[in-house]
């Protein structure tokens, strides 16, 4: 067999363009090199009389060049495998970093939600606070045709609540406020907003209830619900609410005036011991 001119250079060009190889190529390359080396050994062992010395020499050189090129190929393969393993490791590290970043982002968002909830809610009763209520009231009054659809405020205060704190302690008073908050929430509709304004004062924002009869029925329902006896510790306590009702737009054209007039109606109900009163009732005798 004659030598293959340029074979070594051809293999080197092919090696430079190799893609990432499979791990079992190592076994294949070693087997090929072993077979080529054995071939050279077998040819060299043959008598010079049976094969032309010049052709044999060139063939052996070509085979050895093939072995050298295969070595270079194997070296490149090892480098590619190492690079592939490094890329996999970097990918895993990147995925881990992304997961950690996602956890931190979710934690930040959860923290923001907790902070926002804390800023908008009363810590004792978990009802919305005055700030949240005033924002909702302003938004509701700014809606188109708000007065035509019906908008009203119920302002509620607990009569003689101070006596509960004085005789039973502030712990009992706090528990009573929590009970009242829960009862108010249960008595109104899902779309209504109940808040604790502060102390023993509560308010309800009602949309779609501008009818005087409907508001009277709801006020009576809230009065009965809050007035029902409740057990605090070993004591059965009863607290009586006073409720003031103000309707938009007749009782106020701004959030401030509507809330202020509902407060005035509540004080009228407290003085008259009527349980609840509309704002126009406390202005009739003025």
CATH of the domain at 138: 3.30.70.270
* Confidence (pLDDT) at 72: 74
Query: Best-predicted range by mean pLDDT among 13-17, 115-119, 138-142?
Result: 138-142
Range of the domain at 44: 7-101
Closest CA to 241 of 228, 232, 230, 260: 228
For residue 154, the surrounding DSSP H or E stretch is strand 151-159
Point out the residues that are catalytic: 200
Taking the C-alpha atoms of residue 176 and residue 68, their distance in angstroms, rounded to an integer, is: 92
Average pLDDT over residues 255-267: 95
Indicate whether 166 belongs to any domain. yes
Q: Examine residue 205 and state whether it is found in any structural domain, yes or no.
A: yes
Q: Quote the pLDDT of residue 129.
A: 95
DSSP run (H or E) holding 246:
strand 240-248
**Which residues, 6 or more positions from 148, have their beta carbon under 8 angstroms from its beta carbon?**
none
146 and 274 fall within a common domain? yes
Cα-Cα-Cα-Cα torsion 187, 188, 193, 195, nearest 10 degrees, comes to -20
- How many whole angstroms from its chain centre is CA 158? 38
In the predicted model, what is the mean pLDDT of residues 258-277?
A: 95
Determine the pLDDT at residue 11.
42
| Percent of the chain that is helix, strand, coil (3-state, to 5) | 65, 15, 20
Mean pLDDT, rounded, for 75-92:
84
Question: Does pLDDT of 240 surpass 90?
Answer: yes
- pTM more than 0.85: no
Q: What is the mean pLDDT of residues 42-47?
A: 62
- Is there a single domain that holds both residue 97 and residue 147? no
Q: Do 134 and 261 sit in the same domain of this protein?
A: yes
Contact between 156 and 225 (Cβ < 8 Å): no
What token pair was written down for 40?
A: 């050279």
Residue 114 or residue 122, greater confidence: 122
Q: How many domains does the chain have?
A: 2
**Mean pLDDT within 198-205:** 96
**Does the structure show a pLDDT above 60 at 282?**
yes
Pair (46, 181) in one structural domain: no
Q: Are residues 147 and 251 in the same domain?
A: yes
pLDDT tens-place string over residues 133-192? 999 999 998 887 776 778 999 999 999 899 888 888 999 999 999 999 999 999 999 999
pLDDT at 13: 42
């Amino acid at each position: 067999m004659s030598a293959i001119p340029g074979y070594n250079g051809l293999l080197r060009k092919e090696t430079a363009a190799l893609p990432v190889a499979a791990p079992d190529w190592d076994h294949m390359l070693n087997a090929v090199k072993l077979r080529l080396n054995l071939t050279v050994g077998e040819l060299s062992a043959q008598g010079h009389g049976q094969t032309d010395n010049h052709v044999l020499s060139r063939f052996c050189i070509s085979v050895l060049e093939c072995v050298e090129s295969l070595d270079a190929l194997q070296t490149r393969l090892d480098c590619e495998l190492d690079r592939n393993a490094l890329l996999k490791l970097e990918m895993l590290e990147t995925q881990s970093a992304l997961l950690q970043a996602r956890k931190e982002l979710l934690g930040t968002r959860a923290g923001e939600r907790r902070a926002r909830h804390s800023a908008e809610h009363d810590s004792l009763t978990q009802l919305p606070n005055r700030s949240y209520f005033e924002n909702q009231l302003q938004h509701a009054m700014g809606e188109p045709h708000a007065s035509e659809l019906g908008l009203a405020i119920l302002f509620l205060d607990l009569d003689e609540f101070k006596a509960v704190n004085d005789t039973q302690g502030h712990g009992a008073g706090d528990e009573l406020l929590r009970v009242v908050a829960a009862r108010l929430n249960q008595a109104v509709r899902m779309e209504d907003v109940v808040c604790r304004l502060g102390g023993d004062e509560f308010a309800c924002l009602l949309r779609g209830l501008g009818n005087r009869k409907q508001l009277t029925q709801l006020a009576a329902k809230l009065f009965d619900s809050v007035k029902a006896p409740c057990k605090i510790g070993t004591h059965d306590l009863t607290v009586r609410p006073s409720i003031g009702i103000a309707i938009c737009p007749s009782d106020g054209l701004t959030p401030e005036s509507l809330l202020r007039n509902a407060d005035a109606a509540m004080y009228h109900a407290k003085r008259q011991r009527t349980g609840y009163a509309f704002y126009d009732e406390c202005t009739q005798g003025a």
